[in-house]
A = this chain, B = another copy of it.
Amino acid sequence: MVSHLVSEVSTAKLHGILLGSVGPRPIAFASTVDKDGRPNLSPFSFFNVFSANPPILIFSPARRVRDNTTKHTLENILETKEVVVNIVNYAMVQQVSLASTEYEDGVNEFIKAGFTMLESDLVKPFRVAESPVHLECKVTKVEALGNEGGAGNLVFCEVVKIHLDAEIIDENGNVDQYKIDQVARMGGGWYSRANLGLFEVPKPISTLGIGVDQIPKHIRLSSILTGNDLGMLGNIEQLPSKKEVQNYINENRELRTLISSGDPNNLHKKAQQLLKSKNVLGAWMVLLAENEI
């Protein structure tokens, strides 16, 4: 490992390391108005949801590292205590990036970036019509984390009304994770399009897996199986019995051939294949068949 004592690293360098390390970061495309009602629109990736009850989002328009100035968004929020957080999808990312341009005070980034202003129901700032989700928020608190360049300013946003594009709602009423097509910020100039990397992991919330520590040693120390393979195997609640394994072997000609090869690695490779297709029980049957070699 390469280690850095934070007190010995410059703010600019630290900023780069933190942005390169913590990600992908969701994007709050924040719409505000100043006290005269003039709109502003800017993206922030120091952002996430933190609570469902009350429903609280936090984003941070940080003080600029290079000159310690603050953003129009922050000034507007301190004046009016309202914001609409719009979610960013792939189809709008180039315009969102354009809206992050540091135009002068009073320039309307809806117009500069070519977005459509949509009136909100409960707050003054406009919604971005092109965005798939609009979260109308009342700002309950703004908390400065420091007063030098790079200092964050936490904006606590209580969501009061949510608008979802009907196109992204699935047949169960949930937000379809492919169709919402979110993008996120990474380090440097990098973004990630979330739905190109989607995969599902069964939630272990209601089960109590045996754990990797309870996996028999000859399997746990396999040179074939990966950490992810062991994680899936450890999430089973109970191992199949000797009798179940025997029945499985009797019904499975391919497995009998692998056993007769006399090489445990052949069984581990077969189990890994089964794990790839999410057949955890099948993988366990094959691995426990090793006792028959």
Contact = CB atoms under 8 A, between A and B. Distances in A.
Interface of A: 1-7, 9, 11, 14-26, 45-58, 60, 62, 65, 87, 90-98, 100-103, 111-114, 121, 130, 133-135, 145-146, 148-152, 154, 159-166, 169, 174-175, 177, 180, 182-184, 186-205, 207-209, 211-213, 215, 220, 226-232, 234-235
Interface of A, helix, strand, loop or mixed by DSSP? mixed
A113 to B, nearest CB: 6
B191 A198 contact: yes
Nearest to A134: B1
Contacts of A180: 20-21
Contacts of A15: 52-53
11 contacts: A1-B134, A1-B164, A2-B165, A4-B162, A22-B26, A23-B194, A24-B184, A58-B154, A91-B227, A97-B203, A175-B187
A188 B174 contact: yes
A135 B230 CA distance: 25
Contacts of A226: 91
